[in-house]
Structure 1
Amino acid sequence: MSLQPTKDDLDTGITHLEHPKSNSDENDAARRLLIDPKAEKKLVFKCDIHVLPPITVLFFLSFMDRTNIGNARIQGMTHDLQMSGRDYNVALFIFFIPYILFEVPSNLIIKRIAPSTWLSIIMILWGIATLGQGLVTNVAGLIGCRFVLGVFEAGLFPGCVYLISMYYKRYELQWRMSLFFSASILAGAFSGLLAFAIANMAGVGGYGAWRWIFIIEGLLTIVIGLVSKWWIADWPETAKFLNDEERKMLLSRLAQDTQDATMNHWNKGTAKRIGRDWKIHAGTVAYFGVVNTGYAGSFFIPTILNQMGLTAAAAQVRSIPIYVVATITCLTVAYLTDRLRHRYSFTMIGICVATIGYILLLSQQHVAVGVRYFALFLVVSGGYTTQPVTLAWLANNVSGHYKRSVSAAAQVGLGNIGGIVASNVFFDSEAPLYWTGYGVSLGMLWICAAACTVLYLGVKRENKKRDRGDRDWRLQGENVDNLGDDHPSWRFTT
């Protein structure tokens, strides 16, 4: 073997390794490139600048648009719409029905068309649904808008997770995923700040303050959606911000990270391999268990603070520090888990922190108001420590375009059944103690813990089998180039 760099390759930081002729495909050729570290660092930074900002803004707006109903609730929405009984809970959980059903179909669509086209279209449509919530005159209208909102928001989160996973190596992913995910945390803080500012708009145009929350945020989403077609990055193979040399380098480094574990052809074998993958099932259950805490906080924290004796305006403002601290915690953990190349322990730390918070809330009759407020910091920070790690962990442990597409959609889609749970366990009749809500949320956290433990022990055991050569027999079958992470050379992330 000898190094034979060309002048152009030296200029772009790529060196080819000459190998004997073989039947290797493009991935084999890509893996035979040595990449200059300085050129690679520059390329990764360029991807960070072009890939992450637009989808982070989109996710920020999507999470704000789905959870601002919690802020609108204490600004007069329930009174004006004459909501009673379980009306608020129904308005919350109706969103998740289409959101769950359309996740996988949406990710199969985004695989076939440009992400910039698909994401910008659905963003404009869910912006219209958000605006519509500010114009409804009854509960039925609100529920209808929430349903439409779920239809069009369904494709954003799994599509963005899928897009990010196609640009970075496995141990670069958590930091980028958490930067993206932090948008949902900051959305909680910004919603509180915006709702506080909008409180003074009561009566403007004959509308209550709660209506202006939906109208202003809906219009903002529509405007950003109109320009996002020219802002969102497409797949690495077609991204306009990359030149030919950069594209070659990017695909090369990704191929080196994946090695032979590719899955880029859809057939019956592919479908069976994906459907039977226990890792996807474990990752979905883990996300299901922890996502409940994220939604419970967004939907009910303003109400909980209001019932602690704060005015509506004060409750909006007091929610801001909770989400700021959660964002800092989330990003700190993201840096550490990528640097240490380990996921499991960080999921368990987050679960334990949130558990302490729930125990304090369940004991709130015996603790001061300040302790209850502190408990909300623990619950939200602990939940948002674990939630993004479960996403990156599963993405780390599946390989190939199709498998990452389906696994991301399945994890987010089916996992969001936890949002339905969160919508239906906080009963007005139990306010302000919310025994059922806190108790169920605590139990679901430990469902997440159990699933994370299964995933950790399972991949660790599988790595040992592959080290012993127990999976080498798979190389004797057909479609060896489409095995994905079932390929014996693949090693899983713990």
Structure 2
Amino acid sequence: MTGEKIAEAGEGEIRTGSDTSAAHKEDQIEEIDSALEKKVLRKVDWHLIPILFLLQLCSFIDRINIGNARIQGLEKDLHMTGNDFNIALFLFFIPYILLEVPSNLLLKHVRPSLYIPGMIFFWGVITICQGLTKSFGGLIACRVLMGVFESGFFPSNVYLMSMYYKRHEIQSRFTIYFSSGIVAGATSGLLAYAIAHIKTLGGYASWRWIFILEGLATVVIAISAFWLVPDWPETARFLTPDERTIILRRVAEDRAGATMNHWNKQTAKRIFSDVKIYLGVLMYIGITTTTYSGSLFIPTILRQLGWTAVKAQVMSIPIYAVALVCTLTTAFLSDKLKHRYGFVVFGSVISTIGYVILLNMLSVKVGVRYFAVFLFLTGGFIVHPIIIIWLSNNVSGHYKSGVSSAMQLGFGNLSGIIASNIYITKQAPTFKLGFGLGLGLVWLCVISATVLLFYLMRENKLRNEGKRDDRFNLPEEELKNLGDDHPSFRFTY
């Protein structure tokens, strides 16, 4: 069942009353709403969040384990020199960026329970191939194919989750899901530490076993996921018909009739001319340069503190543990307070302190440098999920939700290209370009978030004063396809 059909079903249950049985069912739902709603939400939580968490864990481990493989001998064995490692990272993001929007448009016409596990299975196979390749060219081919198969995964999960939850319920749940990426950083370091003790097994060096074993685990989990990933709410097998109705009604009511279920020139114009989406892209580029570079280069940065490769793997684990606790805490507070902007600034300031220390690392002790790595990565992870949900909260309609999330995550992943090329080997250990540009982009995020805040406040003020009510005079078909341009929709900060 497509997202479009879900939207139409949800809207129909709210906006029509010609069918007596449907009306009677709504009355029943209203009577038990308080008790049943919590039960249904708990049921959705247990069927949706754990499996997506596990799959995102696989995604992040398979994406960043190249950083762990690097300090275990990957470059030496594949005869890589100069900036070859940066090139391998960079090329992953080319298909990853280009295919995210097409992937989310395709998802509207495919069952998530088939589409999402299918992507995971194929990139698991490619991860194994990275451990078997004999040349730098082979590694490049694997990284490009990884980008192809991973491109649709993250935006498809954002899209799927937005179909089940209200706007101020999703931040904490999304961050639990997103935190799997932080757990992956610690897990990748722990696994690499364990695998590092395999000097040579079956003729393969330890860095190869990092890819082979982690890829095999992904393949097994992907096969299981075909039976575990939920479909769209209207056809989700774990929900009863009444429970499906409740989910659809809640989400539709939360969007206040702001639907967008038909694609035409006017739809495209409303989507691609929306300044909110482009500010969301800038915020994403600004902060994820920090989270990407941290995830890819933490082992390298820690190695430059004078530690052995094995110790660097182990010392990365506490960094991710602290980031996990801080990210989850701020996400729950954000949902409780129904506020996003302040937490964007808060996380950015933490990152800024870390970057400033690292830019002056030769003036401080090794312990202080290590603490600074905690700060810059933790701050980045605090902000990263909040800006995704903040944009999602402020767009409505299935076409706009799908395209906006794909655009933010797709074009925003230019940050991956930036992050792949700013930690240059010859600048070690100070990495002035990496730390300096990372700091500047954090404040690009803050500035973009501030512009977005004032834009949303102004737009809400205009709507409260009735200055967008002329849109009620549009033809009925166009009025039902306005998305968040609908006069009844209110933005959240």
Question: TM-score, normalized by length of structure 1?
Answer: 0.94
The Cα of 1:19 is off from its aligned counterpart by: 10
Q: 1:120-199, aligned counterparts within 5 Å? A: 120-199=117-196
Alignment CA distance shift 1:324-1:19 (3 Å) = closer
1-side partners of 2:215 and 2:18: how far apart?
56
- The code of the aligned residue for 1:411 comes to Q
Determine the structure 1 residue equivalent to 2:105.
Answer: 108
In 2, the alpha carbon distance for the partners of 1:408 and 1:237 equals 21
- Whether the 8 Å CA contact 1:30–1:251 is kept in 2: the answer is no
Displacement of 1:21 in angstroms is: 6.0
Report the Cα offset of residue 260 of structure 1. Answer: 1.4
- Once the two structures are superposed, what CA deviation does each residue of 1:199-253 show, in whole Å capped at 9, x if it has no partner? 1112101111000000001111111111111100111111111110101111111
In the alignment, is residue 490 of structure 1 matched against residue 471 of structure 2? no
Give the C-alpha shift of residue 309 in structure 1: 1.0
Q: Deviations over 1:308-357 (max 9, x none)?
A: 11111110000000001001000000000101011000000000000000
2: CA distance, partners of 1:487 / 1:58: 36
**Aligned counterpart, 2:76:** 79
SS at match of 1:391: helix
After TM superposition, the structure 1 = structure 2 runs for residues 308-327 of structure 1, keeping only pairs within 5 Å, are: 308-327=305-324
**CA–CA distance in structure 2, aligned partners of residues 20 and 296 of structure 1:** 51
1:105 and 1:136 map into 2 onto residues whose CA distance is: 30
- Report how far residue 268 of structure 1 moved: 1.6
Using a 3 Å threshold, how does the CA distance of structure 1 residues 362 and 325 change in structure 2: closer, same or farther?
same
Q: What are the Cα deviations for residues 430-476 of structure 1, in whole angstroms up to 9, with x where unaligned?
A: 00110001001111111111111111111011000000001001111
Q: 2-side partners of 1:19 and 1:157: how far apart?
A: 32
Output the CA distance in 1 between the equivalents of 2:139 and 2:182: 24
Tell me whether 1:66 sits opposite 2:63 in the alignment.
yes
What residue is the counterpart of 2:200 in the other structure?
A: 203
One of 29, 51, 54 as aligned partner of 2:51: 54
CA distance in 1, matches of 2:331, 2:137: 41
Q: Does residue 215 of structure 1 match 2:212?
A: yes
Aligned counterpart in structure 1 of residue 460 of structure 2, from 446, 460, 463: 463
2:344 equivalent in structure 1? 347
Judging changes above 3 Å, is the alpha-carbon distance between structure 1 residues 477 and 430 closer, same or farther for their aligned structure 2 residues?
same
Once residues 350 and 192 of structure 2 are traced to their aligned partners in structure 1, the CA distance between those partners, rounded to angstroms, is 29
Q: Is the 8 A contact 1:30 1:255 kept in 2?
A: no
C-alpha spacing 1:30/1:411, structure 2 compared with 1 (3 Å) = farther
- Give the conservation status (yes or no) of the 8 Å contact 1:264–1:401: yes
Letter in 2 for 1:134: G
Partner of 2:7: none
Amino acid at match of 1:318: M
Determine if contact 1:162/1:404 at 8 Å carries over to the other structure. Answer: yes
Unmatched 5+ stretches in structure 2: 1-12
Q: Write the distance in 2 (CA, Å) between the matches of 1:418 and 1:399.
A: 26
* CA shift for structure 1 position 269: 1.4
Q: Which runs of 4+ in 1 moved over 4 A?
A: 17-23, 29-33
Task: Determine helix, strand or coil for the equivalent of 2:45.
Answer: helix
Pair 138,19 (structure 1): closer, same or farther in 2 beyond 3 Å: closer
Asked whether the 8 Å contact 1:162–1:405 carries over to 2, the reply is: yes
> Is the contact between residue 14 and residue 249 of structure 2 (CA under 8 Å) also seen in structure 1?
no
Instruction: Output aligned runs, 1:261-300, within 5 Å.
Output: 261-300=258-297
CA distance in 2, matches of 1:143, 1:393: 35
1:337 alignment partner in structure 2? 334
Q: Classify the secondary structure of the residue corresponding to 2:422.
A: coil
Specify the code of the residue in structure 2 equivalent to 1:412.
L
Are the structure 2 counterparts of residues 334 and 31 from structure 1 closer, same or farther at C-alpha, using a change threshold of 3 Å? Answer: farther
Aligned to 1:476: 473
Distance 1:189 1:36 in 2: 41
2-side partners of 1:460 and 1:30: how far apart? Answer: 34
Alignment of 1:358-437 (within 5 A): 358-437=355-434
Aligned equivalent of 2:41: 44
Task: Give 1:20 deviation, angstroms.
Answer: 9.9
Q: What letter matches 1:362 in structure 2?
A: L
**In the TM superposition, what is the alpha-carbon distance from 1:31 to its structure 2 partner?**
11
Q: Please report how far the alpha carbon of residue 32 of structure 1 lies from its aligned counterpart in structure 2 after TM superposition.
A: 11
User: Contact 1:31–1:253 (CA<8 Å) still a contact in 2?
Assistant: no
TM-score, length basis structure 2? 0.94
Kept in 2: contact 1:294–1:380 (CA 8 A): yes
Q: Alpha-carbon deviation of 1:103?
A: 0.2
Please give the per-residue CA displacement for 1:161-188, whole angstroms capped at 9, x wherever unaligned.
1111111000001001100100011100
Structure 1 residues 154 and 455: CA distance shift in structure 2, 3 A: same
DSSP-derived class of the 2:108 partner: helix
Question: Identity percentage over the alignment?
Answer: 52
Q: Structure 1 counterpart of 2:78, which letter?
A: L
SS in 2 for 1:134: helix
Q: Distance in 2 between matches of 1:442 and 1:462?
A: 31
State the 1:265 CA deviation.
1.6
254-263 or 44-53, which deviates more: 254-263
Q: What is the CA deviation profile of residues 253-293 of structure 1, one whole-angstrom value per residue up to 9, with x for unaligned ones?
A: 11221121111122221111111111111111101111100
Aligned residue type for 2:167: R
Match in the other structure for 1:449: 446
Q: 1:30/1:108 Cα in 2 relative to 1: closer, same or farther (>3 Å)?
A: farther
The match for 1:257 is: 254
CA distance in 2, matches of 1:384, 1:109: 29
Do 1:284 and 1:411's aligned partners in 2 also have CA atoms closer than 8 Å?
A: yes
Q: 1:171 to 1:443 in 2, by over 3 A?
A: same
Distance 2:277 2:242 in 1: 35
In structure 1, how many angstroms separate the alpha carbons of the residues matched to 2:16 and 2:422? 64
Note closer, same or farther for the CA distance 1:429–1:18 as it changes in structure 2 (3 Å cut): closer
| Deviation of 1:295 (Å) | 0.8
1:109 deviation in Å? 1.0
- Asked if the contact 2:111/2:232 (under 8 Å) is kept, the reply is yes
The amino acid of 2:253's aligned partner reads Q
SS in structure 2 opposite 1:107? helix
Number of corresponding residues: 476
Partners of 1:129 and 1:177 lie apart in 2 by 27
CA distance in 2, matches of 1:484, 1:319: 44
Seen in structure 2, the aligned counterparts of structure 1 residues 33 and 491 have a Cα distance that, compared at 3 Å, is farther
Q: Tell me, in whole angstroms, the C-alpha distance in 2 between the residues paired with 1:312 and 1:38.
A: 54
Q: State the alpha-carbon separation in 2 of the partners of residues 300 and 308 from structure 1.
A: 13
Q: 1:403 and 1:32, CA in 2 relative to 1: closer, same or farther beyond 3 A?
A: farther
Please give the per-residue CA displacement for 1:69-92, whole angstroms capped at 9, x wherever unaligned. Answer: 000000011111111011000000
Matched position secondary structure for 2:488:
coil
* Alignment match, 1:8: none
